[in-house]
Structure 1
Amino acid sequence: ALSVSGNRLLALNRGSQSVSIIDTGSLSELGRVRLSSEANDVFMGRNEDRAYVIQSASSTLSALDLNAFRIRNSTVLSDVPLKGVTSSDDKTLYLTTGFSAELLVVDSASLSVKEKIFVGNGARSIVVHGISGLLYIGKQNGEIAVVDPKALMAIDTYLLPGPVQALVIDNGENALFAMLPQSRRLLKLDLVSKRQLGVLELEAESHAVVVMGER
């Protein structure tokens, strides 16, 4: 996970049950947070002092203090969390779940579940539009559900030819990039018309995509 300023990078250390906080300028490790078990996702919002870690094996969600390099608080959820994003004001977390058709709406301060939104089974990826606040959820069946968190419901869908492993939004071009690992393709879609703007054929199965800006 990369901070909004681009100054900090958070990296999960597979096998050591920890998260490294890295200074992107010097590429040096500023500190490390030890976890109780292996984590499978780390994410952060605009507040660069805080990050969140998902440990699916134990259904645990933790908030990290990135200045003190420690776990601030943790909670065990009744559902199995998989991926997460923060709202634009950092007050709310949205978590996809395994074995459930619902998206969890979580208070970022208390880590308590406030609401659940039905999105259907098979959610594999999630991204939030920084301007509109809409959530885009990529699914195993090739569907991208567009969710309005204020209305607590899905308001639109995209249908793609394969499981959607990763999503990222380019705000400058108002475009959505979707990674389809089975067909080894990266699609670029217009956020308004849903029209395909481009496709990149990949040489190998891929699992992540990022948009690089001037920073």
Structure 2
Amino acid sequence: MWTFHGGLVPGETTTIGQLATFVALTYHSGLFYLKLFTMEKNLFTAVSLLLCLFISSSHGADEQSNHTVTEHAWFDIEIKNYDGPGEDYSGRFVVALFGDTVPMTVMNFAQLTKGYKRANQNLRYKNTYVHRIVPDFVIQMGDITAGDGTGGRSVYGETFNDENFILSHEAAGYVSMANHGKDTNGSQFFIILNKARWLDGKHVVFGKLMDIYLSIYLSIYLSIKILSI
């Protein structure tokens, strides 16, 4: 299970144990850690993953979907001890956000990433879990209330309506809203690791990993590690 955990400032370091996974998520000046424990039968996967994210404004067209990219999120990934002690793997995800096509959905994601205050609540992805990994299908996260996939909340209220279904789950790397039925979008989202067009018309796509080969590579890696428990 992945969870946003603790807090560091840029420049600080941490010692990462062989059986723990740490993911750092950065939004502008903020930096905090996402900690991954994948557990089955009381065993942990011996992996370490480092991820950094920030969002920058940008305008351009995504070549595959032909929709305008309004912002980019950058994910720096490091898998510790990938091929053995001291053998690390590093790479970068670049996520395009389609703010012109689905502005409400992208705004919800961006606000929850940096933290959004509503009444007496501080809504944010920090200290939440990546609660679901299905090899060759999805990585799901973003439950900011329950942390286990049963909750979530948007910046617009408890939920908000499906904005549109213009974008398709046509290939690995697309980022889409999780829900529990029509017009029930909250904060949960997922990254697809393979084409999943049967999700079209049910889930709102709002972003895309630009390096598809890297996402496939990571999904294969996760499949091997999880299935080898």
TM-score by length of 2: 0.27
Q: Which has the higher helix share?
A: 2
Larger RCO of the pair (alpha carbons < 8 Å, separation 6+): 2
Q: Which has the higher strand share?
A: 1
TM-score by length of 1: 0.28
